[in-house]
Amino acid sequence: MDEALLRSLTPGVLAVLVRRGADFAAAEDAVQDALVEAVRVWPEETPRDPKGWLVTVAWRRFLDATRAEAARRRREDLVDEEPAAGPASGLDDTLQLYFLCAHPSLTPSSAVALTLRAVGGLTTRQIARAYLVPEATMAQRISRAKRTVSGVRLDRHGDVATVLRVLYLVFNEGYSGDVDLVAEAIRLTRQLADRVDHPEVAGLLALMLLHHARRAARTAPDGGLVPLAEQDRSRWDTRAIAEGVEILQAALARDRLGEFQAQAAIAALHADARTAEETDWVQIVEWYDELTRLTDSPVVRLNRAVAVGEADGPRAGLAALAELDESLPRHTAVAAHLHERDGDLPKAARLYAEAAHKASDLAERDHLTRQAARLNHRQGL
């Protein structure tokens, strides 16, 4: 049994049923029944058109369930208009499924879970392990999401920007449990890029590839964080970098700049530098200016302050930082870094310790604590 084939076909089959009028929850139940039947039948006789076979079986299972329910009369039109069996094209249907799973009525966490379940083909158990929550909790979250979108018709073009935000959320969850969500996000974004000719989709894919290329160098053998400036760049994935840059250049050539393209351009400049000292910080500041214009995000302005500190000196960076709200996440850590570069080691050490106390991520907390200890040691404290 080719499990990879079944997994790749599942979202398209589900989308066909939803497009034909099945509500989301009932459609998924029917598709799961069809998959079970495929596991039983295919080893003996693989169909010539696997997707068409799954669509036919799933639709029949849906109709059987529909007839058995008290609401049969409400769905009689669906029964009477059963489409003929045959090859099914999944391109537009799968795209619509992306839009459905990223529907604005869903919370971000629910949209992510539903996307992984319906489009990614992951089991509820796998998603729960990835998010480090009980399987029952994740099952409830997915069930609520399915109920929310059950009445949504796939008769309009969805919002690409919402889909991209959901995929970026998946990517930023990183790796935990037995599912690599970074790799899953890249796979799903590639799939979306095959279906949508949009420069921001390409921009997000490029951004993911460029960030993922540095993954092996981000952690030390003891699990500690390794800052970008200290990473062993020989461990970066040059093939992923080359692919990301090529995709980004093609997107930028269309002259429809968006925030993911701008972020990818910054990541590409970091990837292009053979050493930290060779980083083109002036151009990075220019891209942060573009990104600020596009998003007006305080987090972007915070990262821009770091870049300004590298391009124009730490005091210029501190001046840019002074314009921002001190309650921003990582504000204290950035201040510590800039004060260290400015030579004020006592203040930098105090700020590193304060930032460590505020950090919610254990690896980040350990890194900031070590930074404070390093400066205190230099001062003989």
pLDDT digits (tens, 9 = 90+) for 245-288: 999 999 999 999 999 999 999 999 999 999 999 999 999 999 99
CB burial of residue 229 (10 Å; 0-12, 13-18, 19+): exposed
> Does residue 74 surpass a pLDDT of 60?
no
Q: What are phi and psi of 6, to 5 degrees?
A: -60, -45
Residue 214's closest CA among 290, 283, 276, 277? 276
Q: Are 260 and 164 in contact (CB under 8 A)?
A: yes
The label of the residue with tokens 């600020």 reads 292
Q: Is the pTM of this model over 0.85?
A: no
Tens digits of residue pLDDT in 234-251: 999 999 999 999 999 999
C-alpha of 300 from chain center: 18
Averaged pLDDT for residues 88-98: 63
Cβ count within 10 A of residue 8? 17
Distance CA 75, CA 59 (A): 13
The number of helices, as runs of H, and strands, as runs of E, in the chain is 19, 2
Residue 131, helix vs strand vs coil: coil
Tens digits of residue pLDDT in 174-219: 655 567 888 888 988 998 998 889 999 999 999 999 999 999 999 9
In 88-122, which positions are buried (b, 16+ CB within 10 angstroms) versus exposed (e)?
bebeebbbbbbbbbbbeebeeebbbbbbbbbbbbb
Distance CA 241, CA 141 (A): 36
Q: What percent of the chain has pLDDT over 90?
A: 54
